[in-house]
Amino acid sequence: MTERGETMDSPPSAQRSGRTSLLDSGEDFELLHDEDGDDDPPPLEDAGGGKGKNTDESDKTNADSDPDTSGAVDEWLDVLGNDQLKKKVLETGEGRDSRPQKGQNVKINLKTYLRDGSLVEEQPGLTFTLGDGDVIHALDLTVQLMEMRERALIQTDAKYAYGTHGSLAPQVPPNADLSLEVELLEATDVPDLELLPPAEKIALASQKRERGNVHYQRGDYAFAVNSYSIALQITESSSKVDISPEEENELIDVKVKCLNNMAASQLKLDHYDAALKSCVSALAHQPENIKALFRMGKVLALQGEYTEAIQTLRKALKLEPTNKTIHAELSKLVKKHSEQRGAEQAMYKKMLGNPSSGSSIQKHQAKSSWGLSWKWLFGATAVAIGGVALSVVIAARN
């Protein structure tokens, strides 16, 4: 099922006003600490990785190579082997060879229930790309195991549905286990992007980006990176269809939004080099993009490049002087940089000693040494002269 919610881009009121402020944006500009929660969901292809290995990866491999379940009516299939995602055939389909493949567009009839039997949502004719993360993980994992015209019942743990956050649309409480009634209607190959009209390409890229925003808001940052990557592939694909300058600019605008949101997700995953690359790519298209400059400043600061980070944030602040978010981040960074320089200077003094006192000691020692040498030379000369005089007197007497 698709999930609807607030996007990471500016609300309509901000868009109508012309210029968008960071404060008007729904994006999360603060690098918040990741919340503790359930294990990460099974990874999608090219999901961008995360922190550590995913224990469900082998489970998904098992799901791809499950035994033939044709005709196994009234028998539950433990899809991942952990008793958290199960599938039961209600009506058999057209055979194993009719199963859809990853990357195909599928159409299903879907009814979603809470475990107590309450109907949450009914979606006839729901279409999505299998394996792209367009729907909850439970559907992405189980529909690929269904045969054409098969009707199945799916029971899923909250982990593979809406997780600890739940959902506002549809209304699903946090940590809710769900029952899904699914009927697979058709599976078709995705259209050739080179032949796709520009308006449809823009709409498709925007749809994938918005899905990435849903993942981001739920804390599924690796899945968000996956959705943004798919959207970028669409915007960067070559075209054999004529495109107007207006449509080309709109496509670039979607691309920059994807890069900005991808950088935010990569920051959450501590992928600083990748986030910096995303910011640089966004600024290559729009050098004065405030969001890209802001995130680039944060990345540089996290990498210890304080001077460059301060310069980048000052450039962003010059473009939007009233932005309190940039003001706060820049002030914090300048203070931190000043403290670091003070600490470095103290460390160098400790390592090298006090140069001024050492210099005066050396001068004093040199002066004392020269004074002793002069006194010794004077005394020796006096002794020599006295000796010569005494010899002359003795010789005169003789």
> Which amino acid does the sequence have at 288?
E
Region 356-382: mean pLDDT is 54
Residue 151: φ, ψ to 5°: -120, 130
pLDDT category at 265 given cuts 50, 70, 90 is: very high
pLDDT of 127 over the 50 cut: yes
pLDDT at site 93: 96
Region 37-48: mean pLDDT is 37
Tokens in use for 310? 């301060």
Q: Is the overall model pTM greater than 0.85, yes or no?
A: no
> Which amino acid does the sequence have at 349?
K
Rounded-to-integer distance, Cα 14 and Cα 24, Å: 6
Rounded-to-integer distance, Cα 62 and Cα 197, Å: 39
Residue 300 CB: number of other CB atoms within 10 A?
A: 22
The domain over range 198-329 is classified in CATH as 3.40.50.10140:
no
pLDDT at site 335: 87
Residue ranges of domains in the chain: 56-190, 198-329, 363-398
The domain over range 56-190 is classified in CATH as 3.90.1310.10:
no
Tokens in use for 59? 């489970």
